[in-house]
Amino acid sequence: MDDASIDPDATGDDGDLPEAAGRRLGSGSFSSGLTVPDFAACLQMGLAPVALVQGFCVMQWGWYGQGSPYSRGMTPYAFSGPSVPRGVYSESYQCPHGGYSYSNEHRVWGQNYQQPWVESAWAEGFTSSYTRMVEEATEVGAHGIIGVVDTTRHLADMNVTEFHMLGTAVVVRGVAAPSGATPWTTYLAGQRLAKLVEAGYMPVSVVASLASVRVWAYCVTEMLMEGRPLSAYGAGGYLPVAEVEQLSRAHIAARSLAREHVRSQLGHDTLQGAAIVANTQSLAQGDEVIECALRGTRVRRFKDFDPLPAPRPTVRLS
């Protein structure tokens, strides 16, 4: 059956979707967020758009909880010694100046550490909004969702983050979806999706992950970043041109962690079209919070293909 007429009563439990979603999805005509060229490509691939589906979730950050960047005065160590949880990134730095004779302000210890509580809150928000979008798609009997647009908006003054996912649910003509299968999802649509399939890859799902690394600066980092030489602490010295190793390593760690989080969701599949957004929040005195979000489409190779012959170079006359 080609057109997507749905009987809302037949699909069972709506879960936690708003009531209006049920009415919209049951309306019988299709809606889609695709542009005209993408719509044409979609039909050419044998996909029929069914409905525009979305999922939404608002998460509150527990700023005053463990490891809050705003709670100074606590020990800088989130993890130390044998209590470091396995697989969590952390690196300590010690003052090289034999520091106790300096003022109280001299930061003799510093640490870079991963903040898994932040990461899991983000993951929860993302997964909830994703799951709700997929639920809407399942309700209309879709096989997949294409052209997913995923927006994360942070309302700083309320410590709240909104996750919104929107996509076009489609049905693959001529294929009966195996029962109980979750719709496949992808950020791609139109010609880019067509090329992906022609290249031998099938999208499996959208994947995304956040890594959060907190830097508690030690004395060397603080001085180099603030431009205040040791003499401010009552000892002579000057500041050279030097790599601020603590920060360099924290930046690389944040990005690498985001990549590894995503890799753990891939199984044996490949991540296509990775997009990275890194955000650095500078707190006082050289401290930083670095957050890096990595998004992409998980794809699976479904056929071999011979390499393309080298494409013909052309020069346009206009």
**C-beta of 188: minimal distance to other proteins in Å?**
8
Nearer CB in complex with other proteins: 58/123: 123
Nearer CB in complex with other proteins: 44/66: 44
Nearer CB in complex with other proteins: 86/316: 316
**C-beta of 40: minimal distance to other proteins in Å?**
9
**C-beta of 52: minimal distance to other proteins in Å?**
20
**C-beta of 88: minimal distance to other proteins in Å?**
19
Tell me if residue 216 falls in helix, strand or coil. strand
**C-beta of 81: minimal distance to other proteins in Å?**
28
Nearer CB in complex with other proteins: 102/201: 201
How far apart (Å, rounded) are the C-alpha atoms in residues 194 and 197?
A: 5
C-beta separation of 302 from 204 below 8 A = no
* Nearest residue to 129 via CA among 224, 199, 59: 59
Nearer CB in complex with other proteins: 25/170: 170
Specify the DSSP element, H or E, that contains 212: strand 201-216
- φ, ψ of residue 122 in degrees (nearest 5): -65, -45
Q: How far is CA 116 from CA 88, 125, 169, 296, in A?
A: 8, 14, 33, 21
Neighbouring C-beta atoms of residue 201, cutoff 10 Å: 20
**C-beta of 30: minimal distance to other proteins in Å?**
18
C-beta separation of 206 from 187 below 8 A = yes
- CB under 8 Å to 303, separation ≥6 — which residues? 200
How far apart (Å, rounded) are the C-alpha atoms in residues 142 and 318?
A: 44
Q: How far is CA 80 from CA 75, 85, 139, 252, in A?
A: 11, 9, 48, 21
**C-beta of 108: minimal distance to other proteins in Å?**
19
Nearer CB in complex with other proteins: 81/178: 178
Nearer CB in complex with other proteins: 17/150: 150
C-beta separation of 298 from 265 below 8 A = yes
